[in-house]
Amino acid sequence: MSRKQHQLSRRSFFNLAAAGGIGAALSSLIPGKGFAREPQEQVKPSTNIQDAMAYGRTAESMPGKYPGKVVQVVHENCVVNNEPDQAAAYEMLRRGMLELSGAETLSEAWLQFVTPSDKIGLKVNPVAGKVLTTSHQLVRAVISQLGEAGIPMDHIVIWDRREFELHETGFTQENYPGIVITGTEQQDASGSFYGPDGLLYGEKMIDKDWYYWADVEEEYDAYTLPYMVNSGKYSYFSKICTQQVDKIINIPILKNAGASVTLCLKNLAYGCISNTGRLHKDLWSETCAQVCAFPPVRDKVVLNIADGIRGCFNGGPGANPQFITEFKTLLLGSDPVAVDRIGYEIVLKKRIAEGIQTEDKPKARDFMNMAQELGLGIADLDRIDVAVVNLT
């Protein structure tokens, strides 16, 4: 097959997804769709989660320095002319970091989580396109405050699974001079996923020493494969996680996924590994929790900053303009499970207010409960300490 035949635009991919096959992974197979129709408990495919649990924990392993603690910063004036305000984003982040850490100065707050010698990966989420990406205002605030704490700019990496989606949503060298911008799945200047040697660029970006194995597989056609990197029963971790960064700051968006949320754990789990299409139908919750239990994620994610300045309450994880809303909120915590739980409550409240659902759907929280059982954080709402900071 020619290089041209392997080229596929992001829009074409999602058009194909909507038509079927992997489209199920992006729509009807997300938690919240059809829970009531399940007649009995499903027998789940086995996975290699025991491999993850065999590794000893470190002092910085999830849930990190502040288990069960979440800071919610609300700023009523953080959106101006339909865009997040840069000064407001900076101040929300500043106040949140001080509240979370208890530090007297902003630099001291950041240095609780990172050091100038660390290579720091900022895990953003551009998957919904320009309409609803991790806001540049928040990312710039993070970079600015890291710089003030003495972190060299060339030690900061903005990354996600698909490098070309980063570029499409404005994460470029032009907009972020001195910052490394990279992804697992890559294209060259001609738009091809394949190098001169005929191998996928993504194949060179996965680390086959680290993998999530699950007894389920899906064969991908030639158009879909570059977005998966490999088929079979193995999902390999990105070398970005395993080799290129020492610490990860997770910056997801406050979005729904059916009746559930695609926030901290989902942003990490499905962003860190290859061959994810096969994992949506039967193992969505398990993947969100279990992938995060492996050392390349569990031991490197030191901070979660959920971007709720703008988010969505329906139609996620994509972006349907009619469901995008201004939550005017940041959620901060070292504990990704606790942040997800509080984010879930915010989205649930909005969905009920909009008449999309009438009550909580406990099954939509399965992945958080699984993550709690794996020791990754606190999912029990009664055990989470929420500090609310209101700014004007």
**48 has pLDDT over 90:** yes
Cα separation of 121 and 6, whole Å? 30
**308 has pLDDT over 50:** yes
Confidence of residue 41 (pLDDT cuts 50, 70, 90): low
Q: Would you state the structure tokens that stand for residue 114, as one six-digit string?
A: 């990172």
Tell which wins on pLDDT, 130 or 35.
130
Average pLDDT over residues 221-250: 97
Q: Would you state the structure tokens that stand for residue 251, as one six-digit string?
A: 């910056």
Tally Cβ neighbours within 10 Å of residue 169: 21
pLDDT at 29: 38
**147 has pLDDT over 50:** yes
Confidence of residue 318 (pLDDT cuts 50, 70, 90): confident
* Residue partners of 139: CB distance under 8 A and separation at least 6: 122, 124, 158, 171, 251
Confidence of residue 42 (pLDDT cuts 50, 70, 90): confident
Residue carrying structure tokens 């495919």: 45
Q: Provide the b/e sequence for 278-297 (b: ≥16 CB within 10 Å).
A: bbbebbbbbbbbbbbbbbbb
Confidence of residue 27 (pLDDT cuts 50, 70, 90): very low
Instruction: Quick: pLDDT tens for 175-219.
Output: 999 999 999 999 999 999 999 999 999 999 999 999 999 999 999
**328 has pLDDT over 60:** yes
Alpha carbon distances (Å) from 306 to 20, 98, 143, 189, 333: 31, 16, 15, 32, 9
By percentage, how much of the chain surpasses pLDDT 90? 87
Predicted TM-score of the model (pTM)? 0.91
pLDDT at 21: 32
Cα separation of 314 and 321, whole Å? 10
Show the DSSP H helices in the chain as ranges. 3-6, 10-19, 23-26, 49-53, 86-101, 106-110, 136-148, 163-168, 225-228, 239, 264-272, 280-290, 295-298, 336-353, 366-373
